[in-house]
A and B are shown apart, each in its own frame.
Chain A
């Protein structure tokens, strides 16, 4: 068994891999930081993988050197293979080394950034969960059970196995139900907005006028006014449209309510109120009126239609806070910082605490915008949430459900920390034009010194970010250096594998009998030494490439890199071919 293992170097290599992963696995168990317990095992696996990738080259180098130094002695090899060069003996192994390099490249360029992102996710979600828990406990201390429940539920969305909090939430819900004097109103859980395709979409003015006429004849004056108004907006010369809109409006205003019962009268008045808001462009108020009506009259066609229309209009100028708040419990790109606007004497710096996508769109939280000129600070504001669409960040969040009619609906707008005047003058006061596109935003992670590393970015994301990152306030050379560093790893893996074959063969064990078991005690020493040696090899190349990069630019440094790697590969092949069997 041992003999077979010694004759096949890859058995020793995979034994080293297995042992190394085992060591990293146990190390990760004992170095679990204070993340949520639900992240413990995902952390252990991710951390083990990251450690394995960090030390993969030295472990491979040590294993290959050990394996070739323990190959059957030169005498045996010569007897079996005749007097042929050592290179011919290992030629079949070269294919395996190339295959191993391909696997390593896929792991280092593909999986490694994902694992780093995973680690960042554990950290940021733990922090978020702790904030929710603190808020919930503070609210509970002040007997604000609604806020406490909402925050505990958000906490559970992250730490979903926490039985203590689950019991707390359950108790809180029971208490709240018991305290209610009347049965609770059915709260719609389905928050997904129902959207009906507007019949007006893509129609000409005369078609809209025909529709308005048709609604007028059916005594649906709200729809008649809506479509006649639209026809008039498309074609301001259409007198018929204007006339019909006026007639429909008059009918709405002068409808004889005395024939209706009290309930119908209330419905009609509220519909008219909502419609007035809608026509005057107060979509939030219109939305709240129709939303409230929908809870009471879910089958009313006008209510359904205008609720969707006002929601549609509202979404162009605002977003729903409940949708935005969903990103609190989701992983995403955090601590983004960039120069958003650059003119002769003005700069705008934007900080985004978190960016994440859900079905309803891309949302941001903890947005801070600071603009200054040579004369001083122009404005500085903070917005809790924002919705990113078509390069514009909408900072106006509104509540989807109004709750009690008397209660003031929640609204999130920018809070000025300094200089409010300038933004108020703008046509769209709650819109922030964002220069970087959605693909570039996650690469601008400089908002926190500790998380400024580009390790979590994929190789292709780095490659794409490199060209424009300087305009957002980042050093292009640091991204280029990271690209070169990542390219260096697979090449070094192959070159060092080949060199360690030669080293192992050169420093072969010359035992007359079997390998003494005591020597296996020394096995861990090989990777320890290999860590420093491979570190020196990589460090020397890193210095050289960084110098060329700063002095001559990225393209030249890439050429120098390829030439250097070609040279090193050639040297390692020559050394390998030069090994003798005797």
Chain B
């Protein structure tokens, strides 16, 4: 019965640690992305984005804390009932209600993307281009002497000309910062570049992690979408996610080789994220094109997670010894 106290405390402790760590790193990365706009502007942007960042870090912190708890249960198994109840309930409560509380911290808005909202700092051109240095974009190198809110002057483009004329000079240009691109219009030449912050590369993830972070971002976006759609749907999505992650804990007790168990569990978790994205972007997208009522498959990804999680849970209950470590 010690588990009644021990497991929730451990879960909360790990969650708080992870939540602080993930949030702190995200804040630092965000600050690095806007640092080129100046100290005041950077602080304003970070301050405005903190509630949104906390919301984004919550699912990752809850799910990783859940996996840590499952590893602890696998290493020192106690009551099977409590080991099922506490992680599932704890993760569900933290994620479902924590999400709602953190959502309330942000600015009350119902505006869609691209709409200027109160308290949100609009990016200035200096976030993406610095004066008096060679700014490298995906295909061009740009040197700008002065940058104002709307104009740049003069501009030198490298890689801009023909084989024997790499440099192009423009006395002045007009710059506009959009959500998807930065457009610099000069005499007879329009340059469109991706909105990559000047110091973004110093904080960017390596290619091996990009896909993983991209799947996490997708999960966050989907949770956000479902949360805005309806609260019961959001609870269902959270339940599916928690059950699926809990189910993957089955791998932690699968064989006598514990390192292999941990590896399989981590791969299963990664697989769940990929499955969720594949179902949302691939299967649902294709089904929506052929079905008369696209709303019918709207929650298919969450349902798939729930089914996979349920199956894993069933296999765990039926075939995998709960107290494997103690038996050994």
Q: How far is A353 from B158 in the complex, measured between Cα atoms in Å? A: 11
Across the interface, B202 reaches (CB within 8 A) one of A349, A447, A477, A509, namely: A477
Q: Which residues on the A side are within 8 Å of B156 (C-beta)?
A: 349, 370, 372
Q: Are A473 and B133 in contact (CB under 8 A)?
A: yes
Q: Which residues on the B side are within 8 Å of A382 (C-beta)?
A: 164-165
**Interface of chain B, main secondary structure:** mixed
Q: Which residues on the A side are within 8 Å of B267 (C-beta)?
A: 525, 528-529
Q: Which residues on the A side are within 8 Å of B198 (C-beta)?
A: 475
Across the interface, A543 reaches (CB within 8 A) one of B25, B130, B261, namely: B25
Q: How far is A447 from B266 in the complex, measured between Cα atoms in Å? A: 43
Across the interface, A446 reaches (CB within 8 A) one of B130, B134, B264, namely: B134
Across the interface, A525 reaches (CB within 8 A) one of B134, B145, B263, namely: B263
Q: 1/0 contact trace for A511-541 toward B, CB 8 Å?
A: 1000100010010011011011101101110
Flag whether A277 is at the interface (Cβ < 8 A): no
Q: Which residues on the A side are within 8 Å of B206 (C-beta)?
A: 535, 538-539
Q: 1/0 contact trace for B192-212 toward A, CB 8 Å?
A: 000000110111011011001
Within 8 A of A (CB), among B124-143: 130, 132-134, 136-141, 143
Q: Are A543 and B209 in contact (CB under 8 A)?
A: no
Q: Number of residues in A with C-beta < 8 Å to the partner?
A: 63
Q: How far is A504 from B260 in the complex, measured between Cα atoms in Å? A: 10
Beyond A449-B136, A477-B199, A522-B260, whether A366 also contacts B212 by CB under 8 A is no
Q: Are B263 and A522 in contact (CB under 8 A)?
A: yes
Q: How far is A515 from B255 in the complex, measured between Cα atoms in Å? A: 12
Q: Are B25 and A540 in contact (CB under 8 A)?
A: yes
Across the interface, A547 reaches (CB within 8 A) one of B32, B141, B201, B263, namely: B32
Flag whether A145 is at the interface (Cβ < 8 A): no
Q: Are B31 and A337 in contact (CB under 8 A)?
A: no
Q: Which of B76-84, B90-98, B166-174, B179-187 forms contacts with chain A?
A: B166-174
Q: Number of residues in B with C-beta < 8 Å to the partner?
A: 53
Flag whether A563 is at the interface (Cβ < 8 A): no
Interface centre among A349, A522, A536, A543 (most CB of B within 10 A): A543
Q: Which residues on the A side are within 8 Å of B263 (C-beta)?
A: 522, 525-526, 529
Flag whether B258 is at the interface (Cβ < 8 A): yes
CB distance from A388 to the nearest CB of B (A): 19
Q: Are A511 and B259 in contact (CB under 8 A)?
A: no
Q: 1/0 contact trace for A544-566 toward B, CB 8 Å?
A: 10110110000000000000000
Q: Which residues on the B side are within 8 Å of A533 (C-beta)?
A: 266
CB distance from B320 to the nearest CB of A (A): 16
CB-defined A-B contacts under 8 Å, sample of 30: A65-B259, A69-B258, A337-B134, A349-B143, A349-B156, A349-B167, A351-B167, A368-B165, A368-B167, A377-B171, A382-B165, A446-B158, A449-B139, A449-B141, A475-B133, A507-B258, A507-B259, A509-B259, A509-B260, A515-B257, A522-B263, A525-B263, A532-B208, A532-B209, A539-B209, A540-B25, A543-B32, A549-B202, A550-B35, A550-B199
Q: 1/0 contact trace for A344-385 toward B, CB 8 Å?
A: 000101010100000000000010101010001100101010
Supplied contacts A447-B159, A519-B257, A539-B209, 7 more A-B pairs, CB within 8 Å: A366-B166, A446-B158, A449-B136, A449-B159, A507-B262, A511-B256, A550-B199
Q: Are A539 and B32 in contact (CB under 8 A)?
A: no
Q: Are B169 and A377 in contact (CB under 8 A)?
A: yes
Q: CB-nearest residue of chain A relative to B31?
A: A547
Across the interface, A376 reaches (CB within 8 A) one of B29, B171, B262, namely: B171
Within 8 A of B (CB), among A412-432: 417-418
Q: 1/0 contact trace for B231-269 toward A, CB 8 Å?
A: 000000000000000000000000111111111101100
Q: Which residues on the A side are within 8 Å of B201 (C-beta)?
A: 478
Q: Which residues on the A side are within 8 Å of B164 (C-beta)?
A: 366, 382, 384
Q: Are A544 and B262 in contact (CB under 8 A)?
A: no
Flag whether B154 is at the interface (Cβ < 8 A): yes
Q: Which residues on the B side are within 8 Å of A477 (C-beta)?
A: 199, 202
Q: Are A351 and B32 in contact (CB under 8 A)?
A: no
Q: Are A447 and B141 in contact (CB under 8 A)?
A: yes
Flag whether B28 is at the interface (Cβ < 8 A): yes
CB distance from B169 to the nearest CB of A (A): 5
Q: How far is A380 from B198 in the complex, measured between Cα atoms in Å? A: 28
Beyond A508-B259, A519-B257, A550-B32, whether A539 also contacts B137 by CB under 8 A is no
Q: CB-nearest residue of chain A relative to B170?
A: A377
Q: CB-nearest residue of chain B relative to A528?
A: B267
Q: Which residues on the B side are within 8 Å of A53 (C-beta)?
A: none
Flag whether B117 is at the interface (Cβ < 8 A): no
Flag whether A206 is at the interface (Cβ < 8 A): no
Q: How far is A532 from B269 in the complex, measured between Cα atoms in Å? A: 12
Flag whether B72 is at the interface (Cβ < 8 A): no
Within 8 A of B (CB), among A429-453: 446-450, 452
Q: Which residues on the B side are within 8 Å of A66 (C-beta)?
A: 259
Within 8 A of B (CB), among A64-98: 65-66, 69
Flag whether B270 is at the interface (Cβ < 8 A): yes
Q: How far is A382 from B161 in the complex, measured between Cα atoms in Å? A: 12
Beyond A347-B145, A473-B132, whether A539 also contacts B138 by CB under 8 A is no
Flag whether B109 is at the interface (Cβ < 8 A): no
Flag whether A402 is at the interface (Cβ < 8 A): no
Beyond A510-B256, A543-B29, A543-B32, whether A481 also contacts B270 by CB under 8 A is no
Across the interface, B203 reaches (CB within 8 A) one of A370, A473, A532, A542, namely: A542
CB distance from B325 to the nearest CB of A (A): 8
Within 8 A of B (CB), among A457-509: 470, 473-475, 477-478, 481, 503-504, 506-509
Q: Which residues on the B side are within 8 Å of A509 (C-beta)?
A: 256-260
Q: How far is A529 from B198 in the complex, measured between Cα atoms in Å? A: 32
Flag whether B328 is at the interface (Cβ < 8 A): yes
Q: Are B141 and A448 in contact (CB under 8 A)?
A: yes
Across the interface, A544 reaches (CB within 8 A) one of B28, B145, B159, B258, namely: B28
